[in-house]
Structure 1
Amino acid sequence: ATVSEMVRDPSDPAGKVFFCFEFVGALLIFMSWYPTRLRNVYVGDDIKAPYMHMSWVTFRQFIPAPGMMMLSVITTVPVATADLQDYFIICLHLVGAVMMFVGYFIVEGKTVGWGPWRKGVLNKKLHETRRGIQVRKACLTVIFWFYTAFIIMQVVLCFELPFIPDYMYDKWGKDPGSTIKPKIVLLNTAAWPVKFMKLLSYCSEVVCGLSLIA
């Protein structure tokens, strides 16, 4: 239901390609130091993020890109097969996702004056056209709604809700073909109503990523 689950296996071709482009992209973004070099994002070092002893420029440099690196390096694990160590990995993966998506969303919203940050960072050092501001606000709006939809879908999929029959969800259990040390495997895939929610979840995450890149 998520991109992370689809590419979680680093030995799989999809996992290898994802790790390559995700990590290299994050590394190039980080090494570019674009928050200090691009005038359409640079707002000066004198404006500090609340509750944090760092400027918004430093926040943009050290939060989203490292979060993107964490997503590529620390792959997730299906909850149904997770043990205690796997839950620790899942938490770190989620931290990376929050740093990347939410971190970028907050600093970009503060920069262009989106939603609750309508006043934006009132600093003349920011140079951006009116059309550019409108496009960036539109991308933030897309991220907000689709990321909200993604979270809702994940909650519905992770916690079996009473109004959705149990048989419609994925069925996990011990591998019947393994006798020595049975592994937890997927025994039966979900029914179409749940598959549709998985598709919505996946598409929502993809749209968020594309809007973030844009």
Structure 2
Amino acid sequence: MDMTSFYRYSAKKYNDALLALGNVRIGTLHDFRNEEHKKGIADVNEGKKTVSHIIKYANSDDGPSIHFDAIEKFGAIGRNKDSSILLENVHLSRDFSFPDCYIHCASQLYSSETMAQFEGSDSCVEIFDVLGFYNRLTETLGTVQPVRLHTVQKVFYMEREERWDGKTWGVHPALIKEPVFSPQVEVRAIWIPVLAGNISPVVINDVGLIRYCRSKKIPQ
């Protein structure tokens, strides 16, 4: 993905703390479900999705079919390859709820429309060296909680019920947000905890992060 610059829209006191102290709050996936967060951040369905497949009609005597691949993939019924199976009006589904993980969010877009998506935001910081910033942040977070950087990737704005593509389980649940949030053009860094157990948001002060950031004028 494009790693040119990311943008952090926030209240000025928080962005000032980032530029002066390297102050960063790293949230967690499940904490974003908390409705007490401000508009644009809270999402009760964070990390959740459903994958489904509909079979109107399928007969095993007609030969190989995505539908019979589906009943095996979804674990719907056992299948004897030598037996004939007739399926009609079958709806298969599987729910996903991704385990808690650490999340840091930013935006790929510098615009007033994007800034307006985040309640209480009146300032902007540009992360102009994305790789440097997240490599450093990974090291610093690791001193608090052993983690593995899973990805730095754009968010997909889509419904949380996804049709099975015939091969995989589709988009990572932690990278899905409802289409109403699409003006945010969000990107996420995701870290997986190495150790088992509950996790909670972490606030880091690391002046080594400052070199990768700079203040940006409010977009007009």
* TM-score relative to the length of structure 1: 0.23
* TM-score relative to the length of structure 2: 0.22
Larger Rg: 2
Which protein has greater RCO, CA pairs closer than 8 Å, 6+ apart?
A: 2
- Of Structure 1 and Structure 2, the greater helix share is in 1
- Of Structure 1 and Structure 2, the greater strand share is in 2
